Structure 1
Amino acid sequence: MIDKLEMFIALANERHFGRAAEVCGVTQPTLSSAIKQLEDQLGVQLVFRGSRFQGLTPEGQRVLDWGRRIVGDMRALKDEMRTVRSGLSGNLRIGVIPTALPMVAQLTGPFTAKHPNVRVSILSRTSTEILTGIESLDLDAGITYLDNEPLGRVAQVPLYAEFYRLLCAPGTPLADRDQVTWAEVADQPLCLLTGDMQNRRIVNQHLAEAGAAITPQIESNSTIALTSHVLTGRWSSIVPRQLAQMFTAGGQLRAIPIVAPEVEHLVGLITARRDPLTPVLAALIGEAERFAKATNPSI
């Protein structure tokens, strides 16, 4: 039944029989047959059928919830048995919000040094995509904000506090300041992350609290694209401190603390709540806890 549940989960994720079959590495008739066999075994209709996928029935949604738990537990069991046989190994998929990408090597570097047989895939994702990916079993873990928007039922390990900087080129109006206020930042020509990014929603919130509402001329879901525009000298941006430090070391750009108030938001590692954890996830959480203790013992 596990293979049929895997196919059913793929169909629920992809919402398309052909794409789900491709994900599972089978033909579309094979996948359709497996779903029908699962329905026969459980005695309920799982999928509304027509000329194309039309969604899950209420019973199908309940089976999806159970299926994710069962498949997740089976994967955990296989990982544990593989660890018993040959030590810690396997694949680890981590979704990371773009603003946290500059720090992720500080976590994955020590982790992979201790566990060289684990392969790590780091995927840039929005906070919403990370939660969805963990729920759908497409991601094993995520690095995202912990204290700004609801996370649901996930395990959390705080990693660091995010502070904000005005990133600007030398010679721009605020470049020589030691600090600036949110109200002053709002008067600058800004390029910012797109609205589907939680960082942008955080920035909007603090600008609104300062009495400002802005419509930036340039938006992007890439921090590299934002920085390239700041380098022209025509725009400034609001970025986390750790990201700013990557682009100010050579003196090409300036990063100025934003105060009144100086706000902070907590970023951390999240995983699905599961007991027991897979050995790989247990090791990752242990490394995250060591990282947090070393970098900020007060968290």
Structure 2
Amino acid sequence: MLDKLDMFIAVARERHFGRAAESLGITQPTLSAGIKQLEDQLGVQLIFRGSRFGGLTPEGARALDWARRITGDARQLREEMRSVRHGLSGQIRLAVIPTALSLAARLAARVNARHPKVRFTILSRPSRDILAMLEGFEIDAGLSYLDNEPLGRVETEALTEERLVLVCAAGSPLAGRAEIGWAELDGARLALMTPDMQNRRIVNQAFMAAGVAPDAVIESNSIIALIANVGEGDWVTVLPDDIARVLAAGKGLSLVPMAPLAHRVAHCVGLVVPQRAPHTPVIEALLEEARRMRVD
């Protein structure tokens, strides 16, 4: 039944039979047959469908919660048995806010150094998507902000305090400063993250606290695109120093710390995992390495 539950979860996630089949690497007729077999086994209709997906029935909505729990427990059982026989191994699906991708790389490297059989899939996603993906069992863990917006029922492990810097061309009048105030950027040619990104909301809060209404001429959900625009013109952007140092290296750009305001500008970034006990062995290893990383 587990394979049929996986099919049902995929259809509920994609809301489209073709995309669900593609995500599972099977044909659409195989998917449709699997869903029909699951409905026959449970004795209820799970999905409204005609020529296309029509949503979950009330029974389907209830079954989805059970399906996610059952498949999650089965995955945990498989990993625990595999770790007993062969040592810690498995796949960690990790979704990361774009500004923490360099942090995710360090965490993955440290886990893999201790447990070479553990593999990672790392996805770049907005913070709100990360929480939704955790709830839907689409990922195993996330890296996100811990203290700026509500997180819901999750377990967290703090990793670092994020510090914001201005990224500008090395020849800019702003380059080489010890720090720069937010109000000084009033009227600057700003390239910023898109409003759906929590980093942008944090930056907006800082600007507004300084009495500035930020007017971004360029918006992107890609930090690489923002850095590229700064390198090509007289644009400036505000990013966390960690990812900015990685992406600006060797590009003739200058990083200038943003001056602190009366309210806190540093935000905590850390690991977010579903609130459940016990965790799978690989997730427990991930949490343990996050704790070591924080101390180091």
Whether 1:74 and 2:42 are equivalent positions in the alignment is: no
Quote the residue 1:191 is aligned against: 191
Quote the residue 2:286 is aligned against: 284
Whether 1:274 and 2:276 are equivalent positions in the alignment is: yes
Give secondary structure in 2 for the equivalent of 1:231. helix
Q: Tell me by how many angstroms 1:189 deviates.
A: 0.7
Aligned runs of 1:87-106 on 2, under 5 Å?
A: 87-106=87-106
Quote the residue 1:62 is aligned against: 62
Whether 1:116 and 2:116 are equivalent positions in the alignment is: yes
The separation in 1 between residues aligned to 2:228 and 2:251, in whole angstroms, is: 15
Aligned runs of 1:88-237 on 2, under 5 Å?
A: 88-237=88-237
Q: Is the 8 A contact 1:172 1:233 kept in 2?
A: no
**TM-score normalised by L of structure 2:** 0.93
Q: Tell me by how many angstroms 1:119 deviates.
A: 1.4
Unaligned 5+ segments in structure 2 are none
Q: Is the 8 A contact 1:164 1:241 kept in 2?
A: yes
Structure 2 vs 1, CA of residues 20 and 183 (structure 1 numbering), >3 Å: closer, same or farther? same
Unaligned 5+ segments in structure 1 are 295-299
**After alignment, is 132-141 or 283-292 more displaced?**
132-141
Q: Is the 8 A contact 2:99 2:243 kept in 1?
A: yes
**After alignment, is 194-203 or 128-137 more displaced?**
128-137
The separation in 1 between residues aligned to 2:271 and 2:284, in whole angstroms, is: 12
Q: Tell me by how many angstroms 1:47 deviates.
A: 1.0
Q: Is the 8 A contact 2:44 2:59 kept in 1?
A: yes
Q: Which amino acid aligns with 1:221?
A: N
Quote the residue 1:26 is aligned against: 26
**After alignment, is 111-120 or 174-183 more displaced?**
174-183
Give secondary structure in 2 for the equivalent of 1:195. coil
The separation in 2 between residues aligned to 1:160 and 1:243, in whole angstroms, is: 13
Whether 1:41 and 2:37 are equivalent positions in the alignment is: no
Give a deviation string over 1:163-211, Cα, whole Å, max 9, x none.
Answer: 1111111232322422222111233111111122111111112212222
**TM-score normalised by L of structure 1:** 0.92
**After alignment, is 155-164 or 228-237 more displaced?**
228-237
The separation in 1 between residues aligned to 2:166 and 2:54, in whole angstroms, is: 47
Q: Is the 8 A contact 2:231 2:251 kept in 1?
A: no
